[in-house]
Chain A
Amino acid sequence: MGSNMAECHPVAFRWPMKAKLNGAKLVHVDPRFTRTSAMADLHVQIRAGSDIAFLGGLIHYVINSKRWNSDPFFREFAVNYTNAATIIGDDFKDTEELDGVFSGMVKFTEPTFWPYNGLEGRYDNASWAYKRGPKAPGPVTKDLIAKRAGPPFDDLVRSLKPGPAEKDPTLQNPHCVFQILKRHFARYTPEMVERVCGSPKDKFIKVAEMLLENSGRDRTSAFAYAVAWTQHTYGVQMISCCALLQLLLGNIGRPGAGVMALRGHAAIQGSTDVPTLYHSIHGYMNAPSALRPHETLRDYMAAETSPTSYYGNTPKFLVSYLKSMYGAAATAENDFGYDWHPKILGDHSHIASFAAMADGKVKGMCCVGQNPATSLNGGATRLAMRQLDWLVVKDNWLTETATHWYLGPEAKNGEVKVEDIKTEIFFFPSTQIAEYDGSFTNTQRMLQWHSFAAKAPGDCRTDSWFYHNLAKRLKKAYAGSKLARDQGWNNLSWDFDPDAGEEPLYPGEISARKVLREINGYQTADPKQHLKGFAELKDDGSTTCASWIYCGCYPAWDQNLTARREPDPPGVPGAHLKWGWAWPANRRVMYNRASADLKGNPWSERKRWVWWDPTFVNPPDPKTKKPVPKGKWVGYDVPDFGATKAPDAQPKPDGIGLDALSGTQPFIMRADGRGWLFVPAGLVDGPLPTHYEPHESPIQNPLYKQQTSPVHKVWAPGKPYNKLAAVGDPKFPYVISTYRLTEHYLAGAMSRWLPWLAELQPELFIELGHDLAKEKGIQNLDWVVVSSPRGHIRAKALVTHRIGVMHIAGKPIHHVGMPWHWGWMGLSTGDVVNDLTSWVGDPNVSIHEGKAFVCNVEKA
Chain B
Amino acid sequence: MQVSRRDFLRLTASGGAGTAIGGLVGLGVTLAPATARAQELRIKDAKTTPSICPFCSVGCATLIHTVDGKIVNIEGDPRSPHNEGTLCPKGAAIYQLHMNPNRATKVLHRKPGAKDWDVVELEWAMDRVAELIKKTRDETFIEKLPNGKLVNMTPAMFALGGATLDNEFNHVCQKFWRGLGVVAIENQARI
Q: What are the interface flags for B155-191 relative to A under an 8 Å C-beta threshold, 1 for contact and 0 otherwise?
A: 1111111111111111111111011111111111111
Set of chain B residues within 8 Å of A270, measured between Cβ atoms: 166-167, 170
The reply on A457 being an interface residue by CB < 8 A is yes
The reply on B112 being an interface residue by CB < 8 A is yes
B residues in contact (CB < 8 Å) with A: 1-3, 7, 47, 49-61, 64, 66, 69-71, 74, 77, 79-84, 86-94, 96-98, 100, 102-117, 122, 125-134, 136, 139-141, 143, 145-147, 149-176, 178-191
In the complex, the chain B residue whose C-beta lies closest to that of A430 is: B104
Set of chain B residues within 8 Å of A441, measured between Cβ atoms: 167
CA distance in complex: A434, B179 (Å): 30
In-complex Cβ contact of A262 among B57, B70, B96, B102 (8 A): B57
Contact, CB under 8 Å: B164 / A370: yes
B51 to chain A, nearest CB (A): 4
Set of chain B residues within 8 Å of A339, measured between Cβ atoms: 150, 152
The reply on A742 being an interface residue by CB < 8 A is yes
Taking A271-B170, A369-B163, A519-B167 as known contacts, 20 extra A-B pairs with beta carbons closer than 8 A to each other, sorted by chain A number, are: A271-B189, A278-B186, A339-B152, A343-B183, A350-B190, A376-B191, A423-B110, A426-B128, A432-B97, A440-B52, A440-B166, A449-B50, A452-B49, A453-B49, A454-B64, A464-B173, A478-B134, A570-B2, A742-B89, A757-B93
B181 to chain A, nearest CB (A): 4
Determine the main DSSP class of B at the interface with A. mixed
Q: What are the interface flags for A437-457 relative to B under an 8 Å C-beta threshold, 1 for contact and 0 otherwise?
A: 011111110111111111101
The interface centre, meaning the residue of B83, B157, B160 with most chain A CB atoms within 10 A of its CB, is B160
Given known A-B contacts A427-B117, A751-B90, A353 and B161 have beta carbons under 8 A apart: no
The reply on A277 being an interface residue by CB < 8 A is yes
CA distance in complex: A474, B107 (Å): 20
Contact, CB under 8 Å: B88 / A10: yes
CA distance in complex: A565, B62 (Å): 11
Given known A-B contacts A344-B183, A364-B136, A750-B97, A264 and B57 have beta carbons under 8 A apart: yes
The reply on A708 being an interface residue by CB < 8 A is no
Q: Report, nearest first, the 3 A-B pairs whose CB atoms are least far apart.
A: A458-B105, A442-B59, A438-B166
Given known A-B contacts A281-B178, A450-B51, A463-B165, A363 and B156 have beta carbons under 8 A apart: yes
The interface centre, meaning the residue of A427, A434, A442, A753 with most chain B CB atoms within 10 A of its CB, is A434
Contact, CB under 8 Å: A473 / B149: no
The reply on A361 being an interface residue by CB < 8 A is yes
The reply on A406 being an interface residue by CB < 8 A is yes
The reply on A165 being an interface residue by CB < 8 A is no
Contact, CB under 8 Å: B155 / A484: no
Given known A-B contacts A362-B158, A473-B130, A512 and B166 have beta carbons under 8 A apart: yes
In-complex Cβ contact of A276 among B47, B106, B154, B162 (8 A): B162
Set of chain A residues within 8 Å of B191, measured between Cβ atoms: 231, 350, 375-376, 847-848, 850
Given known A-B contacts A366-B159, A464-B172, A342 and B113 have beta carbons under 8 A apart: no
A467 to chain B, nearest CB (A): 4
A826 to chain B, nearest CB (A): 8
CA distance in complex: A442, B88 (Å): 16
In-complex Cβ contact of A396 among B93, B97, B166, B181 (8 A): B97
Q: What are the interface flags for A598-614 relative to B under an 8 Å C-beta threshold, 1 for contact and 0 otherwise?
A: 00000000000000000
